[in-house]
Amino acid sequence: MATSKSEGPGLELIHRPRRLRMNPILRGMVEETRLSPSDFIYPMFVEEGRKGRRDREEVASMPGVFRQSIDAALKEMEQCLEAGVRAVILFGIPGRKDPMGSEAYAAKGIVQRAVSAAKRTFGADLLVVTDVCLCEYTDHGHCAPVRKGEILNDEGVTIHARTALSHAVAGADVVAPSDMMDGRVGAIRVTLDDAGFTHVPIMAYSAKYASGFYGPFREAADSTPQFGDRRSYQMNPANAEEALKEVELDLEEGADIVMVKPALPYLDIIRLVKDAFAVPVAAYNVSGEYAMVKAAARLGWIEHDRVMMESLTAIKRAGASIILTYFAKDAAALLRG
Phi, psi values for residue 134, rounded to 5°: -115, -15
Q: 129 or 143, CB closer to ligand PBG?
A: 143
CA 269 distance to own-chain centroid: 15
CA torsion 93-98-101-107 (nearest 10°) is -80
| 130 binding ligand PBG? (CB under 6 A) | no
Is 143 a binding residue for ligand PBG by CB under 6 A? The answer is yes
Please tell me the distance from the alpha carbon of residue 114 to that of residue 74, in angstroms, as a whole number.
8
Catalytic residue among 51, 119, 208, 294: 208
Give the one residue of 44, 90, 115, 133 binding ligand PBG; rule: CB under 6 A: 133
Report the distance separating Cα 218 and Cα 178, nearest Å.
14
**Cα–Cα dist 262/245, whole Å:** 17
Q: Which residue number, 195 or 307, has a Cβ lying nearer to ligand PBG?
A: 307
Strands 127-132 and 87-93: parallel
Q: What is the 3-state secondary structure (H, E, C) of 171-227?
A: CCCEEEECCCCCCHHHHHHHHHHHCCCCCCCEEEEEEEECCHHHHHHHHHHCCCCCC
Q: Stretches 128-136, 144-152, 195-203, 302-310: which one binds ligand PBG (CB under 6 A)?
A: 128-136
Contact residue for ligand PBG among 66, 217, 233, 327 (CB under 6 A): 217
- Interface size with ligand PBG, residues (CB under 6 A): 10
Q: How far apart are CA 315 and CA 309, in angstroms?
A: 10
Q: What is the nearest approach in angstroms of ligand PBG to the Cβ of residue 294?
A: 13
Closest CA to 293 of 62, 88, 80: 62
Selected range binding ligand PBG among 77-85, 145-153, 211-219, 294-302, rule: CB under 6 A: 211-219
**Nearer of residues 41 and 273 to ligand PBG, judged by Cβ:** 41
> What's at 30, amino acid-wise?
V
Q: Judged by CB under 6 A, which stretch of 94-102, 210-218, 243-251, 274-282 contacts ligand PBG?
A: 210-218
Site string for ligand PBG, 238-277 (x = CB under 6 A): ----------------------------------------
Active site residue 329: no
Catalytic residue numbers read 208, 261
Question: Which chain residues interact with ligand PBG by CB under 6 A?
Answer: 131, 133, 135, 143, 178, 214, 217-218, 286-287
